[in-house]
Structure formats: structure tokens, C-alpha cells
Amino acid sequence: FNSNFYDLWIKNQFRGNVRDFEEAVREHLLSEKMRAQLLVDVPEKEREGKWIPKFINLIKEAHVEDYTKQNNASS
């Protein structure tokens, strides 16, 4: 493993720093794991059509808040 090559590759290919790249990879792996668990009993042909509705229902049930929205009261 060449640390300098790794850092340079991330800078050139990802256009960011190592920490941001590794966090993006972690988030991607987590979402893939969640997707696989949600679709474990769904036949392969039906997976893409059922993924989005199942994911939306999961988010609604989990009461996930969107922290990216701007708070208009503080402006």
C-alpha cells in the first residue's frame, strides 16, 4: 500500500480529501446493506420496482428528519 499514491489518486479522481472519500464509501456500503436486507425475499425481477417504495416507507416509519432544509424562522 502506497499512502502517497492513495492520497494523490483520491485528490485527482474524487476531487476531495481522503476523509470525505472514505465517508462516502462507508455511506454507500451502508445503503447497499440496507437495500439488500429490505429486498431479501423479493425476486430479482421485482427488486428495482419495489426498492424505492420500500425505502420511502422505511424512512417515513423511522421519522427521519431532513436536516438539509433551511430554517426560514432564523433568516
Dihedral sign, CA of 39, 43, 47, 49? negative
Entry pTM: 0.55
What is the pLDDT tens value at each position of the chain, 75 positions in all?
Answer: 899 999 999 999 988 899 999 999 998 898 888 878 877 887 887 777 767 777 777 777 776 565 555 555 554
Neighbours of 18 (CB within 10 A): 14
Long-range interactions of 11-16: CB distance < 8 A, separation 24+: none
Residue type, 19: R
50 with 30: CB under 8 angstroms? no
Q: Which amino acid is at 65?
A: E
